[in-house]
Structure 1
Amino acid sequence: MVARMFGFAAVATCLAMPVFAAVALSDAAGSYTISPAGSSIRFSVGKAGGGGLAGAFASFKGSIRIDNSNVGRSQVNITIFPESVGTGQGRVDAFLRSDAVFDAANNPEIQFRSTSVRRIGETSALVTGRLTARGKTFSEKFTAELAGLKAGTIKFHVTGKVLRSRYGMDVGTPIYSNVVDFDMTLTGRRG
């Protein structure tokens, strides 16, 4: 679930950058490495009757390439390490890492690879890509909003929703929602 979100965020970041109205595409064009120090990948799953589960991934890596001549050819690649999931509750974290959810021992990576980027607003884009988690791959979409560009650093706010059942992570439904909400901040450094 979280991997999906992370993957979408990366793609969304790529799309949003070229769309920023105050920044020329030529200024934003280039290759960026996602910096975990300035980034976060957060997720939440609702629960019937209120409450739910919220957490984040502490370990991930990725790259963003913004194409100066054709935004649609821009690329986002993100890898999330599900072993790094954290909710602030040790027992819940261990359960999420187990074969009931992420199966981190046998599936140490969740990957997102963009397949298209499309502007949907002055500073926003829709990033579509292939999310792979637990050996299953599906097309997912994320919305990326350009949050800033300064001194070789770009920042995006990325959101999206992923159905966890598609990836064999539907334990606890219908008490816990099948929908995972992702809220990510992705900071890339040129280079």
Structure 2
Amino acid sequence: MRARILGLAAAAACLAMPVYAAVVLGDAAGSYTISQTGSAIRFTIGKAGGGGFDGAFARFKGMIRIDNNDVGRSKVDLTIYPESVGTGQGRIDAFLRSDAVFDAANSPEIQFRSTSVTRTGDTSALVTGRLTARGKTFPEKFTAELDGLKGGTIKFHVTGKVLRSRYGMDVGTPLYSNVVDFDMTLTGKRG
């Protein structure tokens, strides 16, 4: 679900370029398929007293559409498959997939659909959208920074924070933080 947000944020960042960069923005306009090659959806959950754990999703798909006439009409759709979660610790991975957290057997997808993109700087934007996980949908915001555009490939760095309690995944609080920090790299290929 954070991946979706990051994808949206990435599109927003590209659209957030200043007027002097209009040629680059015009070059970036179009539709991109998010590629797992060159992309990463990572997250961190802190623990009281220090520690916590880091993880990532290995499977996801999505599309970024950049509208160079109206940045706000750009779109990001991202789907994450929670059964692909990995922390490097089998026991934690199994717990995260269970009905206590992602309930991957009954809720096999986490989806993010953008609703707006707002320019915040020359190469950055705020991407707002609807995140759906475990049958619950809430608005979420992510920041996106354009990291590159070359040969039909675009790259964004996306960050954001999501409260896991909103989605019924607050097991372990307050020992483990309710805040999930996302740090994503989204690479899209034109076409």
Distance across 2 between alignment mates of 1:153 and 1:187:
7
Question: Greater CA deviation, 5-14 or 132-141?
Answer: 5-14
* Residue in structure 2 matched with residue 137 of structure 1 by the alignment: 137
Q: Give 1:10 shift.
A: 1.2
Describe the superposition over 1:156-187 as per-residue Cα deviations: whole angstroms up to 9, x where unpaired: 00000000000000000000000000000000
1:141 counterpart SS class: strand
State the alpha-carbon separation in 2 of the partners of residues 116 and 106 from structure 1: 29
TM superposition shift of 1:53: 1.2
Relative to structure 1, is the Cα distance of residues 183 and 44 closer, same or farther in structure 2, using a 3 angstrom cutoff? Answer: same
- 1:54-69 equivalent positions in 2, closer than 5 A: 54-69=54-69
The alignment covers a number of residue pairs equal to: 188
Compute the RMSD of aligned alpha carbons: 0.9
Contact 1:101/1:171, CA 8 A, preserved across alignment: yes
Q: Secondary structure at the match of 2:107?
A: coil
Q: Give the conservation status (yes or no) of the 8 Å contact 2:4–2:62.
A: no
Matched, 1:17 2:14: yes
Structure-2 separation of matches of 1:117 and 1:19 = 9
Task: Verify: 1:77 aligned to 2:74, yes or no.
Answer: no
Answer yes or no: is the 8 Å Cα contact 1:33–1:64 preserved in 2.
Answer: yes
Aligned-partner SS, 1:138? strand
Question: Normalising by structure 2, what TM-score?
Answer: 0.97
Aligned to 1:152: 152
Q: Give per-residue Cα distances to partners, 1:108-151, cap 9 Å, x unaligned.
A: 00000000000001110000000000000000000000000000
Task: Kindly provide the CA deviation profile for residues 21-75 of structure 1, in whole angstroms up to 9, marking residues without a partner as x.
Answer: 5553211100000000110000000000000011000000000000021000000
Instruction: Give TM-score scaled by structure 1 length.
Output: 0.97
Counterpart Cα distance in 2 of 1:24 and 1:156: 15
Asked whether 1:47 is paired with 2:47, we answer: yes
Measure the CA separation in 2 of the matches of 1:187 and 1:24. 17
Contact kept? 2:8, 2:114, Cα under 8 Å: yes
Q: Percent identity?
A: 77
What is the deviation of 1:7? 1.9
